[in-house]
Amino acid sequence: MDKILVAIGGIISSFFVYWYFFMKKEQTVEASESIDILVEGGYKPSTISIPYGKTTRINFLRKDGNSCLEDVVLADFKIRKSLPMNEKVTIEVTPDKKGDFDFTCGMGMFHGKLIVK
Amino acid sequence: MKKTFFIKGMHCASCVYTNEKALKAISGVKDAVVNLATNKATVESSGQILEEDISHAVKGVGYEAIFDKQSASAEATADKEKQKELTQLKVKSLTSLFLGLLIVWGSFPGIMNFAPVFLKDFYLQFILSSIVQFWAGWQFYQATIPALKNRLANMDTLVALGTTVAYVYSVLVVFFPAIFKSAGVEAMPYFDVSAIIIALILLGRYLEAKAKAGTSEAIKKLIGLQAKTARVIRAGKEFDVAIEDVKIGDVVRVRPGEKIPVDGMIIEGESSIDESMVTGESMPVDKKKGDKVIGATINKSGSFLLKAEKIGRDTMLAHIIQLVEEAQASKAPIQRLVDIISSYFVPAVIILAVGTFTGWYVFGPTPVFIHAMLNAIAVLIIACPCAMGLATPTAIMVGTGRGAEIGVLIKDAASLETAHKIKTVIFDKTGTLTKGKPAVTDVTKFSIFNFQFSKEEMLKMAASVEKNSEHPLGEAIVKKAESEKLYLIKVNKFKSITGKGVEGIVDGKKVYVGKLLKQEPDPEGEKLKNEGKTVVYVYVEDKLAGLIAIADTIKETARETISILSKMKIETYMITGDNKQTAQAIGKQLGIKKENVLAEVLPQDKEKKVRELKNDDKNIVAFAGDGINDAPALAAAHVGVAMGSGTDVAIEASSITLVNKDLRSVVRAIELSRKTMRTIRMNLFWAFFYNIILIPVAMMGKINPIFASGAMALSSISVVTNSLFLKKQKI
């Protein structure tokens, strides 16, 4: 009996894990001149739409001691910056191409996205 | 009016730019210079600028202006904090290792027989493991909880999950043993598992952090190269100023043994200069009046004056720093795949762990719960996403940094990745394979005419006449005479005969230098022409006295470079505007295949030739040129290699910039790329192989969770260490 329950529980948990981590909907936040991103267990907000050809200031504030999040990398803009704890770090981007550009932590574990329109 | 202050929070060259821009935007500010190495900023203004305005401007871009000198050392606190974190990590990992080992001693079958009684006490084990779990291991929860709120999972999630399961189970066993006994399970806690896992993973993290610091050393080294002060001469007075106060046009004195503060031109004196830190060239270079010198290089012998030409972020060193920083921030195409995999990795492992638990519980041997739990924990712990995440970036960081040390500047990770596949290198001839300056190679006096003068005298007469012409060939002849210490004689009745040559009266004799005046047999001249040389004839008193052969000389390292490249199975081409005969002759001397000599190519057609060779999809083509007018060809090639240049155009158009003019650097760049890529492949292979093999093994119940934590810690350390090996490799 307990084996059946555990088996059912296992299947349900697996679906839950799948749903919880993979089926999440990203909300896109529009940024005009500047935007604040909180770095705590990921990037909040993590999907940001920024205007093409204009300079947008992205202010990162890290409140998470996880060493993974120490650096933020905007590889398409060739920017890598270290984010000291509790210090606002500003990155200026002036996109010259449209599309989706990922930004990640130093090890590529946490992801965010810049959508250039 | 001038104001100097400190800026806190700068980490890279782009910070300098951002701050300068913000400061210049303050009304009344004429100029602003920010120095990354010293964290100092200087603004120049027509009137008084309020400190509030400066603070506001700097704060607006995310930094902090500090006017008080004492607190300026606050900048160093960032480093100190990092150091503090490291120390804490060390203390935590060693303490938990010690506590964990005590628990193991008191609970592990076999060795527990030799343990003192108090260590076998479950309540003591509970206290010790709680310290490890919530003091040392608190950081795993700190990282996991906010991530979970964002519906994200990472490395810490796995550790937190795994150790929590073991810990909570053990706590229940200790405090409610009756439940387990009634279910027929032996009431045995697993505090050793949770404590040792945390200890080993923290220890791994500490070692990894220490090693990781070594991967970004190159930038720090480059920044440290900058001089802090300069000795300027203004209005006849000589005094030391801070480096950010040097202005363009300032005359700067550099004494023996000193660092040259800024880029400039020598206006007085001469010296031998060690440029190895910037160009990677180990031999000191002799420089004299009129020669350019690079800031941050070291003046070895003489004292000289230079005129400052480039300061602040326009200097060569600043360009190099920026380029390396940008390259380190870029992503290699190979990493894109890794990124995709790693974003699915952790949740997938959690699902696998759930599956493992279920499988062992349903189908496993008794006690089913214990087997199911320990194997699920082993799966969670053995999975190592960090090794995958670190594999590429650490190798790129070390590789590009190593490149900067040897004068090979790589634009981005993608270029570094492409360069290892190069199959063809096209060299521009003039200035790249050759020195780009014609020089006299042969002087021959015909003996059939019994003149009363020597070969040297003939050269002297020819040079005296040519001294009056402005032709580059003439210049080569004059240079040759000067290098042989021949004194030139005054020439009368100098005349330039267009399309033919020049003539004049030297010592009462009529001397002509130029083309043959009438058709006559000339086997010597023909032979030299076949070697790609330009031949001019010397007539004395209308009689052919001899000839002088002039050629663009090949760089000393050119032949060696071509031969090394062919050993590396890389096809070499030479491209030039010269006529076929000259081009073939030079190609032969260099060891370039006859069919690979592309002669009579107009500058605007070089790009077309590059594209033609690129037509074959498998052929990865590099173009090496001096960068000034080769920009289209450099950009058209898969890998553009700009030689000995720091010009913006060349850097922009090329993928690799070689700071020195040594052709062997082309080989070094390819070597560097091959070695870096090999390191990346080894790292990735290791990271994937490790996970692909060990996760299933853990699922099958073959790995003890404690062993799993050791393996996982070792795996990420080995990746970083492997990247660091790049520093030691001979390139």
SS3 B234: strand
Residue with the larger pLDDT of the pair B438 and B683: B683
Using a CB-CB cut-off of 8 Å, the residues of chain A touching B339 are: 102, 104, 108, 111
Backbone torsions φ then ψ of B649, nearest 5 degrees: -60, -45
Per-residue pLDDT, B12: 62
Alpha helices, DSSP H, located in B216-263: 217-225
Partners of A50 in the β-ladder = A116
Best of A14, A72, A78 to mutate (most B CBs within 10 Å, chain B) = A78
Task: Check pLDDT > 90 for residue B1.
Answer: no
Q: Per the structure block, which two tokens stand in for A29?
A: 């936040």
Per-residue pLDDT, B253: 93
- What is the residue type of B332? A
Task: Check pLDDT > 80 for residue B399.
Answer: yes
Q: Do A57 and B361 touch (CB under 8 A)?
A: no
Q: How far is A62 from chain B (nearest CA, A)?
A: 12
Task: Check pLDDT > 60 for residue B75.
Answer: no
Q: How far is B666 from chain A (nearest CA, A)?
A: 24
Alpha helices, DSSP H, located in B543-663: 558-567, 580-590, 606-614, 631-636, 648-653
Q: Do A81 and B78 touch (CB under 8 A)?
A: no
Task: Check pLDDT > 80 for residue B281.
Answer: no
Per-residue pLDDT, A18: 92
Using a CB-CB cut-off of 8 Å, the residues of chain B touching A14 are: 351, 354-355
Best of A25, A62, A67 to mutate (most B CBs within 10 Å, chain B) = A67
Residues B564-597 pLDDT 10s: 999 999 999 999 887 888 888 889 989 999 999 9
Out of B139, B143, B331, the one facing A75 most closely (by C-beta) is: B331
| Nearest residue of chain B to residue A82 (CA atoms) | B11
Segment B106-124 mean pLDDT: 87
Using a CB-CB cut-off of 8 Å, the residues of chain B touching A92 are: 18, 61
Out of A6, A17, A81, the one facing B11 most closely (by C-beta) is: A81
Segment B347-365 mean pLDDT: 93
User: Which residue bears the tokens 């002036």?
Assistant: A94
Task: Check pLDDT > 90 for residue A111.
Answer: no
Q: Do A59 and B62 touch (CB under 8 A)?
A: yes
**Active-site residue set of B:** 428
Segment B133-159 mean pLDDT: 87
% pLDDT > 70, chain B: 95
All structural domains of chain A with their residue ranges: 27-116
Burial class (CB in 10 A: 0-12, 13-18, 19+), B115: middle
Burial class (CB in 10 A: 0-12, 13-18, 19+), A19: exposed
- What is the residue type of B486? L
Q: Do B143 and A104 touch (CB under 8 A)?
A: no
Residues B206-242 pLDDT 10s: 888 888 778 878 888 888 888 888 999 998 899 999 8
* Sequence-distant (≥ 6) Cβ neighbours of residue B541 within 8 angstroms: B509, B510
Q: Do B151 and A21 touch (CB under 8 A)?
A: yes
SS3 B196: helix
| Nearest residue of chain A to residue B356 (CA atoms) | A10
Between CA B442 and CA B525 the distance in angstroms is 10
Residues B506-563 pLDDT 10s: 888 888 998 888 777 778 888 888 877 888 899 888 888 888 988 888 888 899 999 9
Task: Check pLDDT > 50 for residue A49.
Answer: yes
CATH for the stretch A27-116: 2.60.40.420
Q: Is the pTM of this model over 0.90?
A: no
Which of these, B547, B546, B549, B565, lies nearest to B557 by C-alpha position? Answer: B565
Q: Do A108 and B389 touch (CB under 8 A)?
A: yes
Query: pLDDT averaged over chain B?
Result: 85
Q: Do B339 and A111 touch (CB under 8 A)?
A: yes
Task: Check pLDDT > 90 for residue B59.
Answer: no
Partners of B292 in the β-ladder = B265
Least-confidence region, from A16-30, B60-74, B510-524, B547-561: B60-74
pLDDT band per the 50, 70, 90 thresholds, residue B38: low
B644: left (phi over 0), alpha (psi -120 to 50) or beta: left
Q: Are B307 and B267 in contact (CB under 8 A)?
A: yes
Q: State the ipTM, two decimals.
A: 0.79
Using a CB-CB cut-off of 8 Å, the residues of chain A touching B205 are: 67
Burial class (CB in 10 A: 0-12, 13-18, 19+), B323: buried
Segment A84-100 mean pLDDT: 87
pLDDT band per the 50, 70, 90 thresholds, residue B451: low
Per-residue pLDDT, B74: 45
% pLDDT > 90, chain B: 28
Q: Are B298 and B324 in contact (CB under 8 A)?
A: no
Task: Check pLDDT > 70 for residue B647.
Answer: no
Strands B64-66 and B2-8: antiparallel
- What is the residue type of B545? A
Q: Do A109 and B355 touch (CB under 8 A)?
A: no
